[in-house]
A and B are shown apart, each in its own frame.
Chain A
Amino acid sequence: MKKVWIILIFIILFIFLNKLLAPKYMDYLKEGNMTYEYYQEKTNHDVIFIGDCEVYANISPLTMYEQYGITSYVRGNSQQLIWQSYYLLKETLNYETPAIVVLNVNALRYDKKVSEAYNRLMIDKMKWSQEKIDLIKASMLEEENFLSYVFPILRYHDRFDKLKLEDFKYLFKEKSNTYNGFLVNKKVKPVKNLPTKRKLANYSFSDNVYNYLDKIRKLCAENNIKLVLMKAPSLYPYWYLEYENQVKEYAEKYKLDYYNFIDVSDTIGIDYQKDTYDGGLHLNLNGAIKLSNYFGNILKNKYHLKDYRSDKKVNSIYEEKLKKFKKEVE
């Protein structure tokens, strides 16, 4: 019996150390907590946005709710690649079935696994499921190993001398840093010098990318979800005409709606002297509100989404969220 107690104590200590040493992503690298924040949602959503930083920096679901009564959530991550979007969407469907899934197409140009750091930001705080296992397997770089995702201590043990106050403060509790997946950035950095266009050897999306795009399309079709493609506005000249044509071709072939907001930046009212936090790559809070107003209008009118502002239960939850949101943005 004594042995059982000893083993139990060490298992508890092991779990505690795993928790203590893993990054909390609360005050630093807030992007790392985005995947987890979704699980705290109390209502379903009619629209789910998936994609990279272009969704979580540019789309404000609470603005869409306030203006049009649309319930939506951004399941975005830094450098979310297409296969990661697929598994994250698949995981989302374990919790709810939205009417619309909006996929930001920026990541279609990437075929290679990028970095362990991005994988960690996305996967570390994801709940365990078959989708998480598949996502890890699809995302891991050669130098990574699966076990370190199961036991974070194997990856983060060297943080023993880098522990910060947040590691203790948020050991057993979490806080939300986003508003339905939207990460507020109020900074203003006007556009000055834009990088020059780079000539690429190959502009074609890879077979692997198309394979996962097909998987997302089929998954949506199987679940009666309308798949919509979007390209967030950006002044950086990295969305080449060749990319645009391939997306258009794909959308036409499968009768998908595609919205490229780069072309309608002026109509949206984006002022790149005021509405960007990094000189034209991403929008800041002001820009995101403008884009969300514009896109929300399209979603509301074209897809006839329900206005939840008249739904007492949902509205009370969103009123709470809006109160917090407004407090931060004002």
Chain B
Amino acid sequence: MTTPPILDELTSKADLPKILMLGWEFPPVINGGLGVACHDLCIALSKYANVTMIIPKSNPDFVVKNLNLIGMNTIDAKTLRNIGHTDTYKKVKQVHFIDTHLNPYYNGNASPHHDLQNLTSQYLKTVKIGDETAEVFQIDDLYGGDVIEKVTVFGKLAAKLALSLDFDVIHAHDWMTMIAGMEIKAKTGKPLVVHVHSLEVDRGGPQSKGWVYQVEKHGMEYADLLMPVSNFTGHIIHDYYQIPWSKIRPVHNGIRPVEPFKSAPMFKEKMVLFVGRLTRQKGPEFFVDIAEKVLQKDQNVRFVMAGTGEYFNPLLERAAQRGIAHRFHLTGFLNLDKVRKLLSIADVYIMPSVSEPFGLSAVEAVQFGIPAVISKQSGVAEVLNGALKFDYWDINLAAAYILNLLHDPVLVENVTQDAYKDLENISWDHAAKKVIDGYNAFHLIPEMV
């Protein structure tokens, strides 16, 4: 069912700008931080705008106040009839699809086996409504199967749906929705804003030039305004995608407030914590090198890595080779509660990311009052004064920072207190205002009186 907007009874929202958001992950269907970020940004924006969010898959029971949430899997017959038909997509039967098992947050170089204009798909279901037929998005796992096909089908359906909607600006999140964004802009002439949470260049390294990179490049070229989650990502967009700075306006992420707590330590040694996917982008191998350096000076430290990924086994081997396995722990995947449990006992948080568009996990550590040692190659370094910062390759400096923190309570107190002050400026409301400011600065929405 489509969820009608629940308007705040006290305020008329008729005069507010109308945003058509295009998302991929969304609660309660989440993989990583993108869904949470989109959700929280939408909620914050709904104070300043009418927001309609189209996502591939939603749970009909999941209702968000002030947000018109449309899941393409749950769209009803009435809505479909209202959408009507367009001739843009002609069905061609003789197309084969191959599952690529592409995950946008893993490194992958896939190519599409189909083109946008001529599309049929295992992810499309034709339903009959009276004399007419309509297509419904059949999607199970967001990232399993052929993701390229999924995002393409999503683009087609979202574009069709958008024709029946009233909005001022299209706001797409990351490459999975860029095709949809481009389609809608082409059909409606409405301005396209692309919110950049993560890029193929972050995930796969600077040499990435595959299909996803191409989608990102075209999408960002075609967009009227880009909102990367940091200046750091803005520079990547500029340097690796050749997009002019004039249309890049960074909007730093916010964070949900939490109630931090402390737990009894699990072991007598101090604990240094890493939370994140074990992929190239997060620099997990540097964590092993740093741990080795620290242990040369101080044996009373344990190093814990929470997360999973393709580096899991190599990291285990690396730690064993260095002879530090007795002080090195890989937990595998942990749910939020367990991550928080670790945060409640950690002494130092480390984020040695090679290329981190934002780095929300460091802010979560700060919320728990843990001093954070973070790489300068991260967006969060721009908003956290209260943190010790190093170039991800400078393992000596990172190790020395950790040692100083472990041996100096005054330093810990000062860093964490400063970081608490930083938290005041890291909010989704702040981000939402910057989004609206960006629309206004680029004249993408009607001027407000």
Q: Do A and B bind each other?
A: no
Which B positions have Cβ atoms within 8 angstroms of A? none
